[in-house]
């Protein structure tokens, strides 16, 4: 743990810092990052020994209720920000709520605006879900030499813009390995192979919470089945209660209170 002062000046301990992330490669270390959107998910990540969390900017405050120690990066371009200055507003709000860095998949002008205020910025290249239509759907980005060259040029531009890290999503593993060797950015691999400073999987994928499993993900639990079981039990319980009401079996004597007979008699006397 490293002692820091957070953005509003409170003393905190963190699993890592931007400065330490930049030295990972030299030490041969690799960290883990997952998502969290609630205090429960954040607390689970901390208890499991995960190093970093990515969350939506408007979820930072709740995530911080679950962990004060994990390094939190906030995605700030999902909240209606249009201009670079909207993005700057959301970035400051996320940092004030407890984020350690911000993530943006926006253009270089947006990154430069954030960096100009000394904000730690993680870029996002490769497959960007909100831009899926530009790729013709969900697919790996960088499978042709031309696409890989464009990707590398974009990464270099992101370096020049002042970002400290880059989330690399669905980049072919062999292309990612070459990028990792050559970039000064802290690399975060989401479905882009093992050659990165930080390995990233969504928590719902790790825990098997959805009906669809992405190719790059590995499920270590089947919470989807448990959620279905919970829903089934919820429906069963509600149905049984409704049936008991209909058959006058709810409530029974042990589930209600009674006023003592003398007190009831006095009350009835007053009513009359």
Distance between CA 44 and CA 66 in Å, rounded? 8
Nearest to 79 by CA among 57, 107, 102, 112: 57
Neighbours of 266 (CB within 10 A): 12
How far, in Å, CA of 77 to CA of 91, rounded?
Answer: 9
- The answer to whether the beta carbons of residues 141 and 151 sit under 8 Å apart is yes
237, two tokens: 């319980």
Give dist(CA 66, CA 39) in Å, integer.
4
Residues ≥6 apart with Cβ < 8 Å to 209: 203, 223, 224, 227
Distance CA 53, CA 256 (A): 48
Q: Pick the closest to residue 31 from 184, 199, 185 (CA basis).
A: 199
Asked if 169 is an active-site residue, the reply is yes
Among the listed residues 41, 62, 167, 169, the single catalytic one is: 169
Question: CA-to-CA distance for 102 and 98, rounded, in angstroms?
Answer: 11
In DSSP terms, 102 is beta-bridged to: 74, 121
Enumerate the active-site residues: 169
């Amino acid at each position: 743990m490293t002692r820091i002062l957070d953005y509003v000046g409170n003393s905190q301990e963190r699993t890592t810092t931007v400065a330490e992330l930049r030295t990972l490669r030299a030490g041969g270390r690799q960290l883990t990052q997952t998502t969290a959107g609630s205090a429960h998910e954040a607390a689970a990540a901390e208890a499991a020994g995960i190093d970093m969390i990515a969350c939506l900017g408007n979820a930072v405050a709740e995530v911080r209720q679950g962990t004060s120690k994990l390094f939190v990066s906030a995605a700030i371009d999902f909240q209606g920000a249009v201009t670079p200055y909207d993005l700057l507003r959301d970035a400051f709000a996320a940092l004030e709520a407890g984020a350690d860095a911000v993530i943006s998949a926006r253009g270089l002008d947006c990154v430069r605006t954030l960096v100009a205020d000394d904000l730690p910025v993680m870029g996002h290249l490769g497959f960007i879900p909100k831009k899926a239509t530009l790729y013709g759907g969900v697919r790996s980005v960088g499978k042709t030499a031309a696409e890989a060259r464009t990707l590398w040029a974009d990464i270099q531009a992101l370096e020049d813009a002042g970002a400290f890290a880059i989330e690399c999503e669905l980049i072919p593993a062999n292309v990612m390995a070459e990028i990792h060797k050559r970039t000064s950015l802290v690399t975060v691999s989401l479905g882009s192979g093992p050659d990165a400073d930080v390995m990233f999987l969504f928590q719902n994928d790790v825990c098997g919470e959805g009906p669809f499993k992405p190719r790059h993900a590995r499920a270590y639990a089947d919470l989807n089945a448990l959620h279905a079981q919970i829903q089934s039990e919820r429906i069963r319980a509600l149905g049984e209660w409704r049936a008991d009401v209909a058959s006058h079996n709810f409530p029974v004597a042990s589930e209600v209170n009674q006023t003592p007979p003398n007190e009831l008699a006095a009350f009835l006397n007053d009513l009359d």
